[in-house]
Amino acid sequence: MSWFKRQAKGIKTALNDQINVPEGQWVKCPGCSQPLNARELGNNLLVCPKCTYHFKMTSQDYFELLFDDRKFRIFDDNLISVDPLDFTDKKAYTTRLKNTRKKTGLSDSARAATGKVGGHSVSMASMDFSFIGGSMGSVVGEVITRAIKRACRKKTPLILITQSGGARMMEGALSLMQMAKTAANLTKLSDKGLPFIVILTNPTTGGVTASFAMLGDVHIAEPGALIGFAGPRIIRETMGQDLPDGFQKSEFVQEHGFIDMIVERKDLRGRLIHLLHLFMEAVPLAD
Amino acid sequence: MAERQTKHLLDFEKPLFELEQKLEEMRNLDSGRTTAVVNRSLRSLEKRVSVLRTSIYENLTRWQRVQIARHPDRPYTLDHIAGLTDGFIEFHGDRLFGDDPAMVGGFATFKGSRFGFTDRTVMILGQQKGRNTKARKYRRFGMPNPEGYRKALRLMKLAAKFNKPIITLLDTPGAFPGLEAEERGQAQAIALNLFEMARLPVPIVVNLIGDGASGGALGIGVGDRILMMENAWYSVISPESCSSILWRSWDYKEEAARALKLTAADLIDIGVIDEIVSEPTGGAHSDPEKAIHSLGEAIARNLEELDGFSTAELLKNRLAKFDGMGVFEEN
Ligand SMILES: [Zn+2]
């Protein structure tokens, strides 16, 4: 896919946004509070050169970072969230959806793609926090499910990149059911002996963690990502005390046994290729 | 007795309670000298009580149903187990870390014969709340830790091993949001249950009996039939938490309950549940025995129906059921 075509479609990439800012703009790093040159940050995969704080990337950024020659084919970006519950809080869900679509150029908070990584065909899906907090409603459940089915059908590994505040409140129980839907479909991938790699990015919480994000054969996390079920605020309220430093961060979650490896963004593609070589070479696949 | 009732009286039940008390007084007065006049006014008052009860319970708001779902006199998991089975033996522990009193389960004989079906061994399990302060704390308000979900999975796998059907009873304000729960992998425990329940080779009948909040409920909620009691609620979040996040205030729980469409009647329309189990007028807490009986009849009937499927059909249908959940458009 050409650079131009993507721009024309209005898909935002966080990397490109930073690279294209006027020279001399600065960003304050939430990790070390240092001022960072925006363009340099963009050229460093949005990772702080001083403290390795990982700023959020978009699904488009991850696809471009991970696929061979930045070549991939997007699927299911024609799936659109509707408003099955006629949900209104301070704002109508339909208005929220319309505004978010316009602002982000995305149809929802998950996108699927296929392509090659290190020569291996893979089915991939990645999430966008900018779309209603990366929340999972019916569309996200369906996009992930179709990515799983695509992997099963084409007998390829599945790679899911997670970035989500959890299930989407505005679709009520239907959002909750997406946890069961994705988990149930993953049993089929497992039956076929196909690898499932999860890359957890900041943040991955709630219903996404409690479903496909924690069902991988391999769990890779970016450094310093918030990973958990309940949010820190609610846990602080429950416990009535401050939480320990680094609580629910990648390193903490790895220490407690739920993450295999923490990999810096610049090494992600290399690590994926290494794993895919190990999994896919000379492995006879079950039908 | 009257005192106890007052304590657990829901706001909207007050007018009904007052009228019932008036009726009670009149009955007491009446004893000894029955006259036609007194009889007439007694009957008229009885009628008013019944009309009022029906009108309140036929026009419940969603928030009122949430309140009924949480009524402390509502039958809890162990009450249903006691009412529907014989010889329940509780099993303890996840074999990994500990035992969680917020999740209970074990083998028992389900008394299907009471409903015209057969008695049979089942695995029956669910979240358990406490009735007094001490028990509530012990049961962690029905909010399981990871070891609760892992115990549930251990028991369900035992059921599969011995080829016994599984009955789950969902009644929780959510998985416990604690520091240790996170350390021990609350998310992973729930995720694994969803995955494993999707492929357990025995029939699973899931029952929503009260509170049904979020992944904490769903963690034992994947199955072949999803039954829901008339006044239970089930959603991705509680109305209070939804209010606090979307309205940035705890005061919009009624609006949130309305927006979330969390009642049995709402959920059957969008395919999240299969069957509504009717409760006595006045809610399950007004007549627990009758409520337990209704649930038992529904479970017995569904177990019998599921007997008609081969394991392969069962699993295929179960996957298709959850695969089909969700509403979206394809442009
Ligand atoms: Zn920094």
Cβ of A179 within 8 Å of Cβ of B215? The answer is: yes
pLDDT value at A13 more than 80: no
- Check: complex ipTM more than 0.85: yes
Low-confidence ranges of chain B (pLDDT < 50): 1-5
More confident residue, A96 or A11: A96
Residue A127 identity: M
Nearest CA in chain A to B261: A85
Percentage, residues of chain B above pLDDT 70 = 96
Cα B105–Cα B241–Cα A58 angle in degrees, nearest 5: 100
Average pLDDT over residues A90-108: 96
User: What is the pLDDT, as a whole number, of residue A238?
Assistant: 82
Q: Please, are residues A183 and A176 in contact by the beta-carbon 8 Å criterion? A: no
- Ligand 1 centroid to A35 CA: how many Å? 8
The shortest C-alpha distance from A69 to chain B (Å) reads: 29
Q: Please, are residues B278 and B58 in contact by the beta-carbon 8 Å criterion? A: no
Q: Helices A59-66 and A265-280, interaxial angle, to 10°?
A: 60
- B70-323: which CATH topology? 2-enoyl-CoA Hydratase; Chain A, domain 1 (3.90.226)
Average pLDDT over residues A79-96: 95
Per-residue model confidence as pLDDT tens digits over B112-162: 999 999 999 999 999 999 999 999 999 999 999 999 999 999 999 999 999
State which H helix or E strand residue B87 sits in. strand B85-90
User: What is the pLDDT, as a whole number, of residue B34?
Assistant: 66
Cβ of B270 within 8 Å of Cβ of A183? The answer is: no
Size of interface A-B (CB pairs under 8 A): 201
The shortest C-alpha distance from A106 to chain B (Å) reads: 14
Alpha helices, DSSP H only, in A36-130?
38-43, 59-66, 93-104
Per-residue model confidence as pLDDT tens digits over B27-67: 887 566 667 788 888 899 999 999 999 999 999 999 999 99
Distance, in Å, from the CA atom of B245 to the CA atom of B250, rounded to the nearest integer, reads 9
Structural domain boundaries of chain A? 1-55, 57-280
- Ligand 1 centroid to A27 CA: how many Å? 10
Distance, in Å, from the CA atom of A204 to the CA atom of A161, rounded to the nearest integer, reads 10
B237, B319, B328 ranked by CB distance to A81: nearest = B328
Radius of gyration of chain A (CA): 19
Structural domain boundaries of chain B? 2-59, 70-323
Residue B157 identity: K
pLDDT value at A1 more than 60: no
User: Is the domain A57-280 a CATH 3.40.190.10 member?
Assistant: no
User: What is the pLDDT, as a whole number, of residue A4?
Assistant: 36
User: What is the pLDDT, as a whole number, of residue B4?
Assistant: 46
pLDDT value at A287 more than 60: no
Contacts of A178 (CB under 8 A, 6+ apart): A136, A137, A138, A140, A141, A144, A167, A207, A211, B325, B326
Cβ of A85 within 8 Å of Cβ of B184? The answer is: no
Cβ of A257 within 8 Å of Cβ of B182? The answer is: no
Q: Is A47 helix (H, G, I), strand (E, B) or coil?
A: strand
Distance, in Å, from the CA atom of A166 to the CA atom of A18, rounded to the nearest integer, reads 27
Cβ of A89 within 8 Å of Cβ of B262? The answer is: no
pLDDT value at A71 more than 60: yes
- Ligand 1 centroid to A52 CA: how many Å? 6
- Ligand 1 centroid to A51 CA: how many Å? 4
The shortest C-alpha distance from B200 to chain A (Å) reads: 11
Burial A234-266 (b: 16+ CB within 10 A, else e): bbeeeeeeeeeeebbbbebbbeeebbbebbebe
